[in-house]
Amino acid sequence: MQTYIHGVGMTQFGKLEDKTLKNLLLDASIEALEDAGKPDVDAVFVGNFMGGSIYNQEILGAIIANDLGLGYVPTAKIEGACASGGIAFRQALLGIMSGEYETVLVAGVEKMKHVSTVEVTEAINAAMDNDSNEKHAGLTFPGFFGVLANRYFYETGATKEHLAHVALKNRNNAINNPLSQFKTETSIEEIMSARMITEPLGLFDCSPTTDGASAVVLSKKKGDIAVRSSAQASGPTEMQNAENLLSIPAVGESGRIAYEKAGLGPEDIDVVEIHDCFSMTEIISSEELGFFNRGEGYLAVEQGKTLPNGEKPINTSGGLLSKGHPIGATGISQLYQIVHQLRGTAPNQVDGARIGLAQNLGGTGSYSTVHILERV
Amino acid sequence: MDAFRCNQCGYETLSEKYYCPKCRNSSFSRLDIEGKGEVYSFTTIHIAPPKFADKAPYQVVLVQLTERLRVTGYMDEDIDIGDSVSFKEIQEGAYIFQKSS
């Protein structure tokens, strides 16, 4: 059964002190519903990670149904760390494919800027295994990708400057995106000399904390953006369980299944949103999704292949690094950007984009979703 | 150090699993590891979780202990990939490593 995206919505990303979690959720949802022509909605799925732990707010699905006056429709919140949004979208899709629903609203949201860095770090660390010796060794999320980056450098000859080129590209893309968190120009020099978070990753190599929401309306009624395939995979929840440290199997596996279901390959994709929680992650996942050979993703960056006018444009939205990363909203906001690319209305528009791919990651490779969309 | 080895395919893991992720066998043997190995990779953490803030900067290392087993540990010495390290002790749930003399 074919499903279609009928509408998308997204709030400003950044520090939004005047907006509550509910305000953000409703703003994005209303924009998506209006974009879709105000359809009847049969169910609501919400992607959210820490509404409970740092905002003391749950029942997000029921709040949307009540405040938007959707009636007695079923709703659920989906948690999958930073992949909460992508998984919520997939659950909506499966609900439609099962025949249970015709049209579903999916929204993703996070409020992160109202608490201290210490509190938000503690809450994010809930996405690590509490019982694992790794957490007790003081490993952090950036730490995992720092360990990965050092090994990647050792094996490939890549350097910190290659990571800086990812950060710079995504910043330049974000400058053209009115909804992005960071719009200040930067330079390779500034990125390279920024304060160290976890070696070799500096401030610009790490995604920020962000407030924001995004939403999509998905339906089996014919529309102009088709969901060609949806895939999800799990991977090691601990770094020491990785068979190959320079691989994120959940990304590779979700990509492989998505291509297979769509009958497409990496060469068919015109525009890509990759989960660049760290600059290193974008490079590894660009290899994992088959856009470049293993160990050569950094060369593609160096050669400008991932720029908006390059052969495989990645993160034309600005990515998590510069558009911002409101955890539960991220996966849906990637779809927002891809839909606009396929409609021809995106910031950093790729000429003639017809097929787009969005990949959303949770934990240190614990969850990954891949969705392939096509303008029809 | 204790670890587990799959009785069918030889997969090694620090924490016991129900199924072997490689071959789906579910019988494992306990393995006693000497605790000497090489740094496979590492990072120096400058921005640490609250509990570790007073220790920063410190090293988190991924140590290759056997051909099939890597373990994540904590160190407070400058190190590099390929350096020889040895297991010292378990402290508050963390495996502490030190440079081999």
Give A225-279 pLDDT, tens digit per residue: 999 999 999 999 999 999 999 999 999 999 999 999 999 999 999 999 999 999 9
Q: What is the pLDDT of residues A95-149, one digit of tens each?
A: 999 999 999 999 999 999 999 988 998 899 999 999 999 999 999 999 999 999 9
Residue type, A16: L
CA angle A266/A144/B11 to nearest 5° reads 80
* pLDDT score of B96: 98
CA distances to A29, A37, A51, A108, A218 from A33, in Å = 6, 6, 23, 14, 10
CB-closest option in A121, A134, A201 to B72? A134
Residues of A in contact with B41 (CB under 8 A): 147-148, 150-151, 154, 245
Asked if A209 reaches chain B (Cβ–Cβ under 8 Å), the answer is no
pLDDT for the residue A239: 96
Q: CA of B86, closest CA in chain A: separation in Å? A: 15
pLDDT score recorded for residue A14: 98
State whether CATH 3.40.640.10 applies to domain A3-116+212-219.
no
Please give the pLDDT value at position B16.
Answer: 86
Contact flag A150-B42 (C-beta cutoff 8 Å): yes
The CA distance from A32 to A27, in Å, is 9
Show residues of chain A in contact with B62, CB under 8 Å: 147, 151, 239-240, 245
At residue A118, the pLDDT reads: 82
CA distance A146 to chain B (A): 5
Backbone angles phi, psi at B70, to 5 degrees: -115, 145
Given a cut of 80, whether residue A342 has pLDDT beyond it is yes
Predicted confidence at residue A149, as pLDDT, reads 98
**Does the predicted interface ipTM exceed a cut of 0.90?**
yes
Interface of A with B in 85-104 (CB under 8 A): none
CATH number corresponding to B34-101: 2.40.50
For A182-215, the pLDDT digits (tens) are 999 999 999 999 999 999 999 999 999 999 999 9
Reported confidence tier of residue A66, pLDDT bands at 50, 70, 90: very high
Encode pLDDT of A306-325 as tens digits: 999 999 999 999 999 999 99
Looking at residue A1, its pLDDT comes to 83
What's the pLDDT score for residue A321? Answer: 98
Whether the Cβ atoms of residue B8 and residue B25 lie closer than 8 Å to each other: yes
DSSP A218-273: EESS--SEEEEEEEEEE--SSGGG-SSTT--HHHHHHHHHHHHHHT--GGG-SEEE
The CB-side HSE value for A343 (13 A sphere, CA atoms) comes to: 17
Q: How far apart are CA A373 and CA A200, in angstroms?
A: 35
Rounded CA separation A44/A153 (Å)? 44
Decide if A6 is catalytic. no
Catalytic residue among A6, A162, A275, A325: A325
Our CA-based measurement puts residue B63 at a distance from the nearest CA of chain A, in whole angstroms, of 9
Strands B2-6 and B12-13: antiparallel
Mean pLDDT of chain A: 97
What CA–CA distance (Å, rounded) separates A209 from A13? 10
Query: Which is catalytic among the residues A82, A165, A206, A277?
Result: A82
Which one, of A292, A227, A290, lies nearest residue A262 by Cα?
A227
Dihedral (Cα; B66, B15, A285, A273), 10-degree rounding = -170
In three-state secondary structure terms, B65 is strand
pLDDT at B101 over 80: no
CA distance A242 to chain B (A): 9
Q: Assess whether pLDDT exceeds 90 at residue B50.
A: no
pLDDT of residue B22: 93
What's residue A110's pLDDT? Answer: 98
Give the residue carrying structure tokens 């994709």.
A269
Q: In chain B, which residues have their Cβ closer than 8 Å to the Cβ of A238? A: 15, 72
Judge whether A298 and A279 are in contact, CB under 8 Å. Answer: no
Pull the structure tokens for residue A20.
């509550």
| pLDDT score of A326 more than 80 | yes
Q: Which single residue is written with the structure tokens 């799925």?
A: A45
